[in-house]
Amino acid sequence: MRTPGESWWAAELPTDEQAKGLVTLPISPDVVLAHEALATPGLISRLGDGFGWDPKDLAYARLAQREHTSRVLSVLDPTKETLLVSGHYHFRHSERAALERLSDGEVVSLPVRQEILDRERTPGSLAVLDLTGETPRLEDVPA
């Protein structure tokens, strides 16, 4: 079971207020860095039954992932792919997906590229984010 302040922290998820702060910006983010990952089809499939997690922890994790995904999608620009970099699941995962949100009663498709880094001191746990070009690039660094 997760223990607040030891194995779980409330600050792992952005709040509604933090997401609303992003909505007021004149541009949407090109890159989102967060602890939690988006609920993309490939990640959901990979997580499957939760790797033997305690059912309560798994239920919390799925709820947190859905809330995080909803908040992040609320600030993304549907005309460009957004790079999302996270950890949380402690395995390396790369995926491109088109996620959807409702906007003024219409379904809007949002292109995302999700990069989840592995746990510390393992291959796939380190990367360099290059923002010098038109498109953000994430390059793995050997551990």
Distance CA 33, CA 68 (A): 12
Which of 9, 29, 43 is closest to 77 using CA atoms? 29
DSSP 100-125: EEEETTEEEEEEEEEEE--STTSTTS
Along the 143 residues of the chain, how does pLDDT read in single tens digits?
556 666 556 666 667 777 666 666 677 889 999 989 999 999 999 888 777 778 887 888 888 899 889 989 988 999 999 999 998 888 999 999 999 999 899 999 999 999 999 988 888 899 999 999 999 999 999 86
Q: What do you get for the CA distance between the two ends of the chain, in Å?
A: 30
Instruction: Please name the helix (run of DSSP H) or strand (run of DSSP E) that holds residue 59, with its range, or none.
Output: helix 55-73
Q: Provide the whole-model pTM.
A: 0.82
pLDDT tens by residue, 105-125: 999 999 999 999 998 888 889
Distance CA 98, CA 131 (A): 22
Query: Could you state, in order of their start, the residue ranges of all structural domains in the chain?
Result: 10-141
